[in-house]
């Protein structure tokens, strides 16, 4: 998969790419990520990227030209162009699964109250990572990259996904590691029993019970 990120703050990203699963996926060639400062595409004086809003109002609005030209330079017939914006479709795990099957994502980091509305016309999807306002689309872009990259075939072991939260719309079961007793709190004895059938049953039951208790909306 190839991912292109369009931003005015490219310096946010290198540290994110150099850790953990995203780093390994880049090193093994399973994903190629490039960050583009769309200011470089501006044809305006002093590489201008924003201007005052028509009709008045506070703040500056990102202009069409730099973003349109940057997308034109990157887009192919395989591309999905995604605008990060709080009024987009709310991002969830099944959305991440479907994006992980794509060949090329172009992520546009907008700014709230923020961009010329005509920019929406070049986007295939508009995505929000939740009902709150961030100062820009950079953190949402990282959320998408992180959640998608780990789902690309072969990036992590297939069975790691099977039991994790939101797979089959259930939350994950509780995990424990050594010691078996810590400050008087015991690991459930079934997990020490070596009986894998019983352990599977226990975990499935815990997934269901946790979901019912914490996220009953997922069971509907």
Write out the residues near ligand ADE by the rule CB under 6 A: 84-86, 112, 128-130, 132-134, 137, 140
Nearer to ligand ADE, 84 or 207 (CB): 84
Nearest CA-CA partner of 116 in 55, 200, 180, 162? 55
Q: Which residues of 63-81 are buried (b: 16+ CB within 10 A; e: fewer)?
A: bebbbbebbeebbeeebbb
Strands of the chain (E only): list them: 2-7, 32-37, 50-51, 61-62, 79-90, 104-109, 125-128, 181-182, 185-186
SS (H, E, C) 80-120: EEEEEEEEEEECCHHHHHHHCCCCEEEEEECCCCCECHHHH
Nearer to ligand ADE, 64 or 134 (CB): 134
Nearer to ligand ADE, 73 or 133 (CB): 133
Q: How far is the CB of 62 from ligand ADE (least distance, A)?
A: 12
Nearer to ligand ADE, 84 or 148 (CB): 84
Q: How far is the CB of 91 from ligand ADE (least distance, A)?
A: 8
Q: How far is the CB of 192 from ligand ADE (least distance, A)?
A: 43
Q: How far is the CB of 81 from ligand ADE (least distance, A)?
A: 15
Nearer to ligand ADE, 128 or 211 (CB): 128
Q: How far is the CB of 108 from ligand ADE (least distance, A)?
A: 10
Q: How far is the CB of 5 from ligand ADE (least distance, A)?
A: 13
| DSSP strand pairing (2-7 vs 32-37) | parallel
CB distance 170 to 216 below 8 Å: no
Q: For residue 132, with 0-12 CB atoms within 10 Å meaning exposed, 13-18 middle and 19 or more buried, which class applies? A: exposed
Nearer to ligand ADE, 115 or 202 (CB): 115
């Amino acid at each position: 998969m190839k991912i292109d990120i369009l931003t005015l703050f490219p310096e946010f990203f290198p540290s994110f790419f150099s850790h953990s699963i995203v780093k390994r996926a880049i090193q093994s060639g399973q994903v190629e990520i490039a960050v583009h400062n769309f200011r470089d595409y501006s044809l305006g004086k002093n590489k201008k990227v924003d201007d005052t809003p028509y009709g008045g109002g506070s703040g500056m609005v990102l202009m069409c030209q730099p973003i349109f030209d940057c997308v034109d330079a990157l887009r192919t017939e395989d591309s999905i162009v995604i605008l990060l914006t709080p009024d987009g479709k709310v991002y969830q795990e099944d959305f991440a699964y479907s994006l992980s099957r794509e060949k090329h994502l172009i992520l546009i980091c907008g700014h709230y109250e923020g961009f010329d509305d005509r920019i929406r016309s070049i986007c295939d999807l508009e995505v929000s990572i939740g009902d709150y306002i961030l100062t820009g689309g950079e953190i949402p872009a990282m959320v998408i990259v992180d959640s998608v990259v780990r789902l690309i075939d072969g990036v992590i072991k297939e069975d790691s996904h099977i039991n994790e939260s939101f797979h089959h719309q259930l939350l994950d079961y509780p995990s424990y590691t050594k010691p078996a007793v810590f400050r008087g709190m015991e690991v459930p004895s079934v997990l020490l029993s070596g009986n894998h059938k019983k352990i599977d049953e226990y975990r499935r039951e815990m997934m269901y019970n946790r979901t019912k208790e914490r996220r009953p909306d997922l069971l509907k």
